[in-house]
């Protein structure tokens, strides 16, 4: 049930993580500038390596995981994101997560990547809700989901800090227009 190694959107190439992506992943995960709303989840290099290994293994049993995100015709990494299985309040869900370099913010890339993830979930896991869990102060990450008809609920039991948990049902679409927010969750 796994998608092809690479998927394309209008502007983006979404490619399954490879071992060769580890340096780019560690750089993004440890950079202070990529965590303006959630500095407490910024990783050390060792933590980033552990997370990378965990994310790599998501692809095998689940057929979905996090992608390396780049622009069509470009080799540089602008971010990482995608879906992975998660349990929220005892319910199996898919967690939608992404992190982009600041120079990619404000272009609607996260929305475009998220729409590809939601489309995949609608086709392959229609029984599972898709959640994004982020800090309540992360306005860009909360803005476009709330405007799309998803529901946002307070979850004070989340690890590290209270979070907003935004519930995207897989039938939800985010629209076709480019947004200016939401490139870092």
Q: CATH no. for residue 89? A: 3.40.630.30
Q: Could you tell me the pLDDT band of residue 47, with boundaries at 50, 70 and 90?
A: very high
175 belongs to a structural domain:
no
| pLDDT at position 153 | 42
Task: For the chain, give the number of residues.
Answer: 185
Distance, in Å, from the CA atom of 100 to the CA atom of 158, rounded to the nearest integer, reads 23
Into how many domains does the chain fold?
Answer: 1
112 belongs to a structural domain:
yes
| pLDDT at position 89 | 75
10 within 8 A of 112, measured Cβ to Cβ: yes
Residue 22 has pLDDT above 80, yes or no: yes
| pLDDT at position 128 | 82
Range of the domain at 133: 6-168
157 belongs to a structural domain:
yes
Q: What is the pLDDT of residues 80-110, one digit of tens each?
A: 999 988 887 788 888 888 899 999 998 999 8
Q: What is the pLDDT of residues 152-177, one digit of tens each?
A: 443 433 333 334 444 444 333 333 33
């Amino acid at each position: 049930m796994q998608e092809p190694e690479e998927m394309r959107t209008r502007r983006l190439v979404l490619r399954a993580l490879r071992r060769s992506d580890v340096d780019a992943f560690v750089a993004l995960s440890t950079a202070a500038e990529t965590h303006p709303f959630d500095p407490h989840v910024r990783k050390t290099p060792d933590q980033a390596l552990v997370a990378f290994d965990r994310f790599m293994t998501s692809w095998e049993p689940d057929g979905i995981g996090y992608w390396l995100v780049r622009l069509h015709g470009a080799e540089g990494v602008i971010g990482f994101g995608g879906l992975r299985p998660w349990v929220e309040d005892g319910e199996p869900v898919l967690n939608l997560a992404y992190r982009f370099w600041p120079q990619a913010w404000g272009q609607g890339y996260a929305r475009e990547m998220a729409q590809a993830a939601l489309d995949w979930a609608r086709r392959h896991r229609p029984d599972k809700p898709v959640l994004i869990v982020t800090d309540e102060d992360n306005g860009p990450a909360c803005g476009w989901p709330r405007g799309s008809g998803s529901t946002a609920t307070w979850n004070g039991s989340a690890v590290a800090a209270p979070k907003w948990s935004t519930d995207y049902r897989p039938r939800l679409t985010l629209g076709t227009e480019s947004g200016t927010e939401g490139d870092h969750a």
